[in-house]
Amino acid sequence: MFMFLFLVVALAVVVAAVTVAVVGGGESAPLPEAGPERLVDPFPPDRPLNREDVEILRFPVAVRGYRMADVDDALGRLGAEIGERDARIADLEAALEGAMSASATSTSLRKPAEEDHQ
């Protein structure tokens, strides 16, 4: 009987404390504006992405994690830019290789000519 009475008093104290906290503890100001539900594209549209753009990217949290559409959009943009950079790197490497082989060919053609003059 003593245990039952103790639990009832403890429950009453907890209910009273929660009621006081809810009613008297809050500010009278309205709730702040909720953030957007969709991610506004944080990537700059006027230039290629860099490391800092990816490091500061934060997705808004949804009920069950992140919105798949937001993540898919960001990954799609990153994938497209990486593909463009890979293609540009391949073009530059091919141009460099062509320039080096042309330079090697012209150097090998000049050596016999220089030996003939001596």
* Number of independent structural domains in the chain: 1
* pLDDT score recorded for residue 96: 94
pLDDT band with cut points at 50, 70 and 90 for residue 106: confident
Q: Write out the E strands in 35-110.
A: 61-62, 65-66
75: nearest Cα among 41, 38, 36 = 41
Q: Mean pLDDT check: name the lowest of 31-35, 76-80, 100-104.
A: 31-35
Is the pLDDT at 1 greater than 90? The verdict is no
| Model confidence pLDDT, tens digit, residues 47-64 | 888 888 888 888 877 777
| Residue 5 domain-assigned (yes or no) | no
Amino acid at the residue 86: D
| Residue 65 domain-assigned (yes or no) | yes
* pLDDT score recorded for residue 91: 96
Structural domain containing residue 52: 38-105
| Model confidence pLDDT, tens digit, residues 21-41 | 777 666 666 666 666 666 677
- Three-state DSSP at 14 gives helix
| Residue 72 domain-assigned (yes or no) | yes
| Residue 98 domain-assigned (yes or no) | yes
| Residue 24 domain-assigned (yes or no) | no
What is the number of other CB atoms lying within 10 angstroms of the CB of residue 60? 13
CB 43 within 8 A of CB 49: yes
| Residue 80 domain-assigned (yes or no) | yes
Question: pLDDT over 70 for what percent of the chain?
Answer: 77
